[in-house]
Structure 1
């Protein structure tokens, strides 16, 4: 690039002033000056910080390694006293005739030649994700892509090193403190360091840095980078105690089998077949909803499931089957939750996890916290306690991060409305036909073939653990067909129902990601698009759930009403007793009593005669 004519300027860093020394200034010098200005602007731009943090990119790293900057649109003001530099900036296209910046609201990175001179600038628009060059505008290969890939590779290598090098023995998370007991061993010298420190304390961190650096012959800056990475891994829940989670190793054979399963055209048919072999017979819609809800824990808007049925109907089978299909490191089972228990689980301990709660009654005490966790995706509480060092009272904040997917069962006919509105509700098939299927399966499990099948169950569970691990949680889900989706709108509760429906469509698309093209946008990263098949599958599944949003009469109560109408029509009567219904339709007394009360409250029937010691008679009030 030819040299520009000599201009008046103190230095490349300073501005031109009258009477200053005349020096030769090139376009490369101007580009270097602008690069330094943009680098300074990046430090103070909240918009750029949010954009980079969302992608786990560290500003300090980008500036030191790649001289990245940001254009806020203030370049014209910065150069207003440097008329000749201002002229060169306009000449090369950095500014137009009105002073508007070419890279306004762009991240900017310099392009160097073999002599380390800045010969071009490349910008990335934060809003559109589009990239462009200043000088070589026709260039189609951009350095932004290679830089991000290089940073991610370096960070992955660093995380691997930290996980291998630092052996955590104890973790204590409190407000303002991240206490750890850590063992750092050097196998070559048979030496190790065992120390307890607060990672949030600069003084204690520096002390550990010195010890590790001396033992491994590293510089302290590199060790400090490792400790910051360790802190990040602990806070994100990706690294725990050495005995917490065994490193999962997926063989190439297991990986290929899982990919074939996920890529199959008959994905949902194969899923139903696997769940049948696990011993969950019938109820195809419930099985698919349960599995999709469990899978959705890896998305940004997970689904939760409430299973309603009478005692011994089989709700625990659905719950256990879905729990068994989830990888052990991504699931937690609770038989009971106390009022404060969810707050003490830790910042990241249940984030994107699948929570199984034995009975809805077991979560009653923690009901408020659970509802907030499902809707707000995080909960926090302030508690008071004594400072262990000074003895003074102080306030501590406890926080638990979501989102989570929850599956809970209940024998109640009515679920607490606030909890019910945050989950999909399904009922267990209590028909005679389903009972015969279950009993047949139970008898078959005692046969020789049944014993062989029991061994195969463990292989199926392990296969689904691999399937779940291979699903990419970093994919964004884009629905460009949302305008074609229809939903009832005549009830207020449909507002939340519609959101659940859209989340179900997203979850189906997420499960089918291996059947889709992975696209990329700088703003969103990798993403997949929802297609018509996703919507059709979700619509079919959601029809069984929709009645819980739009109808006062729930499925089991509606089934009883149908039986009553059939009995009255056949016998040409309008009055009936509980015993007649039990004898004719084999209803359990407890379930029958509960649903008769529901029908009475909704004026489908009325109690005509009934008190202690007197036969109860009911009258059907509708045809």
Structure 2
């Protein structure tokens, strides 16, 4: 390229004893099979000649040669020699640009032997979970101890054969991007890929080598079906295949298949205001903390950073230690011998996906605690593996307890938070009735957002209209007893404790011991003593919700009992939901059936039906059962 002068990528000058040729617009690097250029050819004092041609096309170059020879009276051999030199040097320039176009490979993180020993000592410590929380707090993640621990365990699982993925759901301004940035700084170089945003179609064109066995950070994930479906497929099946029609250079359509094979750990953030657990995604959905106390803690930390009270050396040391911890983990198989004993509470929605997430998270915890578990060898295959300990199952239940409660909740996250605030507000005000204007006076909330919350609470019978008017002062609402989740949470807690007891019982039977050491004692189970007398009564099983098969007959039986206590009263569907455990729609349907059978009277007022017990003299003709004319 001795005759080429590269001004920039869009302007190149070629000079030889005969011509001065300017390449306007540069050289196209995307089409290697063509060399299309726009040339401005200058010869002595003549006006320049401009043309656009493909230098790889013989008809076009021959035409240019004849044109230059006829225009300026030059010899064909001299002109062809100049064009040949131009083509050769432009070709060399393009190949050189293509060679250095890609990114420079990142240097792999390689800790020293001393740092690796410190990391293994850290992983072998007894209080590993507490020490890990301290390090996460040291790098600047505050108030999210449980969520940060789950996220870091998921990040460490990218080195295992079964990675675990987590989605962080929160509104804008909560700190989703900040947490992802802090966690990415704790990852070794070359073990993760950070993206601010990924389109739905971009997943089908990823290079498998770039994301396979790595952690994929997505700062702003589109919460759409087109985006979530390929992510879920890639997570569950480990491969993504897309076939579409493409055109070749001749314009003919052909089917082209793009395949991505990768096992990745997805850590993404999304703006969420709905109950997305209903989608049954193969990811764990975490709702970040946005309480006022969390806001105060974050603002206090920001003040300390600006005041210079937070040492950057401590943050750097904590980040380097966590990098060494992840780099010290080895890819080893995990076997959970207690998987058959793990049962989900009956109140958890979508039990298949929920159980799979729980089992995967238990394996993730066991993988992270690999230096505290004894390695075993399969005699048939020779594979080295570790077994899950009951403490890993306890840790998984303790960390995912809020997520399990969240999956058992029929309300969305924001509506549940608003309902808790509303309950506390009315308790403090010592009243059970309120209007939308009362809420807006006490809490800064957009009217449409408030209306959406009230509609959702009214739909699930957490509140009901007690009076008022839509067009004047507004409706007057009152709380019902249906919104109390204490019974559901206690039932879930009992079933979790029952599962843990069965796991510990199987572990003691396997070890051949009847007692446990203090550090192995399960949560919620009292330690056994040698001199303890056996109890005469067998242990009671956790109470389960009894299935009612009587349908409207059971509702009518309860109504008669209530009528005996207070005669001539009015009944609505919510009066029976707390007694039967069935939802509002079911009880309303059963009351309607009783009215159709002539056992109840009903009256429409305050935008709902009120039912009363029918006496013998008040039964109308329309409610009496009609006789069959064929039997008469």
Which TM-score tier does this pair reach, normalised by the shorter chain?
Answer: 0.5 to 0.7
1:476 matched to 2:336: no
Rounded to whole Å, the distance in 1 between the matches of 2:479 and 2:107 is 62
1:528 matched to 2:386: yes
Instruction: After TM superposition, give the deviation of residue 553 of structure 1 in Å.
Output: 2.5
Instruction: State whether residues 212 and 261 of structure 2, in contact with CA within 8 Å, keep that contact through their aligned partners in structure 1.
Output: yes
Instruction: After TM superposition, give the deviation of residue 610 of structure 1 in Å.
Output: 8.1
For residues 482-510 of structure 1, what are the alpha-carbon distances to aligned partners after superposition, in whole Å with 9 as ceiling and x for unaligned?
24423224556011101111111100000
Which one of 344, 355, 358 corresponds to residue 487 of structure 1?
344
For residues 444-467 of structure 1, what are the alpha-carbon distances to aligned partners after superposition, in whole Å with 9 as ceiling and x for unaligned?
1122332x2x23322322222221
Which one of 312, 322, 341 corresponds to residue 464 of structure 1?
322
Instruction: After TM superposition, give the deviation of residue 358 of structure 1 in Å.
Output: 2.1
Instruction: After TM superposition, give the deviation of residue 588 of structure 1 in Å.
Output: 7.4
Instruction: State whether residues 371 and 418 of structure 1, in contact with CA within 8 Å, keep that contact through their aligned partners in structure 2.
Output: no
Instruction: After TM superposition, give the deviation of residue 379 of structure 1 in Å.
Output: 0.5
Residues 574 and 418 of structure 1, relative CA distance in 2, 3 Å threshold: closer
Which one of 134, 147, 154 corresponds to residue 286 of structure 1?
147
Cross-structure match for 2:288: 428
Residues 462 and 599 of structure 1, relative CA distance in 2, 3 Å threshold: same
1:540 matched to 2:540: no
Q: How does 1:338-353 map to 2 (within 5 A)?
A: 338-353=199-214
Cross-structure match for 1:509: 366
Rounded to whole Å, the distance in 2 between the matches of 1:520 and 1:393 is 54
Instruction: After TM superposition, give the deviation of residue 380 of structure 1 in Å.
Output: 0.7
Rounded to whole Å, the distance in 2 between the matches of 1:616 and 1:354 is 52
Aligned length, in residue pairs:
380
Cross-structure match for 2:307: 447
Rounded to whole Å, the distance in 2 between the matches of 1:336 and 1:304 is 17
Residues 419 and 293 of structure 1, relative CA distance in 2, 3 Å threshold: farther
Cross-structure match for 2:197: 336
TM-score (norm 2): 0.55
Rounded to whole Å, the distance in 1 between the matches of 2:264 and 2:426 is 47
Residues 416 and 295 of structure 1, relative CA distance in 2, 3 Å threshold: same
Instruction: State whether residues 142 and 297 of structure 2, in contact with CA within 8 Å, keep that contact through their aligned partners in structure 1.
Output: yes
Residues 589 and 356 of structure 1, relative CA distance in 2, 3 Å threshold: farther
1:244 matched to 2:105: yes
Cross-structure match for 1:355: 216
Rounded to whole Å, the distance in 1 between the matches of 2:118 and 2:451 is 50
Residues 334 and 526 of structure 1, relative CA distance in 2, 3 Å threshold: same
TM-score (norm 1): 0.56
Cross-structure match for 1:605: 463
| Structure 1, unaligned runs of 5 or more | 1-171, 173-239
| Structure 2, unaligned runs of 5 or more | 1-29, 31-100, 482-632
Residues 567 and 372 of structure 1, relative CA distance in 2, 3 Å threshold: same
Residues 380 and 610 of structure 1, relative CA distance in 2, 3 Å threshold: farther
Instruction: After TM superposition, give the deviation of residue 265 of structure 1 in Å.
Output: 0.9
Query: Which of structures 1 and 2 has the bigger CA Rg?
Result: 2
Across the aligned residues of Structure 1 and Structure 2, the Cα RMSD in angstroms comes to 3.0
Rounded to whole Å, the distance in 2 between the matches of 1:520 and 1:590 is 61
Rounded to whole Å, the distance in 2 between the matches of 1:425 and 1:313 is 16
Rounded to whole Å, the distance in 1 between the matches of 2:273 and 2:135 is 31
Rounded to whole Å, the distance in 2 between the matches of 1:438 and 1:490 is 35
Rounded to whole Å, the distance in 2 between the matches of 1:593 and 1:279 is 37
